Structure 1
Amino acid sequence: MTIESSTGISRRALLGAFAATAVVAAPTFSKAAGVLKNAGDIRRIRMYSARTGERIDMIYWVEGHYIKDAVKEVNHFMRDWRTDTSSPIDLRTIDIMAASHNLLDVSEPYMLLSGYRTPKTNSMLRSKSRNVARNSLHMKGQAADLRLSSRSVNQMARAAASCHAGGVGRYSGSNFVHMDCGPIRSWGA
């Protein structure tokens, strides 16, 4: 959905122009308790979904403030595609994803495999795989399963773990990393 102002400029075009002129420096993390502490004035998330064919390249935070409309678009993008159900995504999860992406120093967007999941979807996936938690943080909008073709599962997991901000699961056999804003922990190989 594109909303145009009275000048004929869409919000998406305005954000795109801002993104094109902004300089984003990859933050250095010795301890990232604030997730994107020292990250500069903007935060950006880039993803695509092979399931829906959608792409998002969004500046969602500027100078200490989340951009409400951008966050709404991220929430919609990360919806349960099986039921077309959206839920608010925990901003800490988005921040962990963005910080990890910056640390990896790639321009390639994440491939989103799973964001928000309805309880029904989670139950269905749980019946097919022992790797799906009964009380998955996906159902609270607090987790994402992500892939990058240019980086290994281990590289992605190390970047996420260096944020010291949540859970990191390595799923090497399925070539993805789980990132969440729950307790700090790690699992998988």
Structure 2
Amino acid sequence: MTDRPNSWLSRRGVLAAFAATAVTAAPTFSNAASFLRKGGDVRRITMYSQRTGENIDMIYWVDGKYIKEALDQVNYFMRDWRQDEVARIDTRTIDIIAASHSLLDVSEPYMLLSGYRSPATNRMLRARSRGVAKNSLHMKAQAADLRLKSRSVSQMAKAAASCSAGGVGRYSRSNFVHMDCGPVRTWGR
């Protein structure tokens, strides 16, 4: 046995370990914008991808600071899987995803349909669908398309819109919600 201290016993490590075992990582606020401004001590993101078979469920923000290693994992998870390109996801988008998930009061992770898109992928998708924007915020790593089995598109869109922190698009026929950290706006049905 060695006398060397365990590095995980730092304040951040203890808080992260405690929060990871909690049912909810942060309190639910009636206004998600207050969640984004104050945030409590911990922020958590939980998603999965059917396309890659990957999932994440992690604390990415503790005690007023983003955790670089967690953000690196989020960046990789939300990569353009078609081109295998990774981009730095805007933390404002991550915060909107986390805040809206908290407002929905669900344990089910979001299904990520699309995060970062390379210009090549965006061009390919645009050629297939008129619903893909030429200058999509996905190409700037500032957007995500998400789905939940347990909540409707309308419920998800209302939660995201209550953040008053970016764009929210309803795609009811395709059963997903677009969330981004661009100008505040809504569209779709």
Fold-level similarity (TM above 0.5)? yes
Q: Partner of 1:65 in structure 2?
A: 65
2:160 paired residue number: 160
Instruction: For residue 37 of structure 1, give the secondary structure of its aligned residue in structure 2.
Output: helix
Q: Residues 1-189 of structure 1: matches in 2 within 5 Å?
A: 18-21=19-22, 24-30=25-31, 32=33, 36-189=36-189
Bigger radius of gyration among the two = 2
Q: 1:119-159 CA deviation, whole Å, 9 max, x = no partner? A: 00000000000000000000000000000000000000000
Q: CA deviation at 1:18?
A: 4.5
Length, aligned pairs only: 180
Query: What is the RMSD computed on CA atoms of the aligned residues?
Result: 2.2
Could you report, residue by residue, the CA deviation over 1:60-93 in whole angstroms, capped at 9, with x for unpaired residues? 0001000000000000000001011100000000
Give unpaired runs (5+ residues) of structure 2: none
Q: TM-score normalized by structure 1?
A: 0.88
In the alignment, the residues of structure 2 paired with residue 54 and residue 130 of structure 1 have an alpha-carbon distance, to the nearest angstrom, of 29
Deviations along 1:28-85, whole A, 9 cap, x unmatched?
A: 14471x6523431100000000000001001000010000000000000000010111
Q: Is 1:36–1:95's contact at 8 Å kept on the other side of the alignment?
A: yes
Alpha-carbon shift at residue 16 of structure 1 (Å): 5.6
Segments of 4+ moved more than 3 angstroms: 6-9, 13-18
Among all aligned residue pairs of Structure 1 and Structure 2, give the percentage whose two residues are the same amino acid.
66
Cα distance in 2, alignment partners of residues 31 and 172 from structure 1: 23
Gaps of 5+ in 1: 1-5
Give the TM-score normalised by the residue count of structure 2: 0.88
Q: Which residue of 2 aligns with 1:3?
A: none
CA distance in 1, matches of 2:43, 2:117: 25
Offset at residue 26 of structure 1 (A): 3.0
Q: Is the 8 A contact 1:27 1:36 kept in 2?
A: no
Aligned mates of 1:172, 1:115 — CA distance in 2: 19
1:65/1:30 Cα in 2 relative to 1: closer, same or farther (>3 Å)? same
Residue 21 of structure 2 aligns with an amino acid whose one-letter code is: A
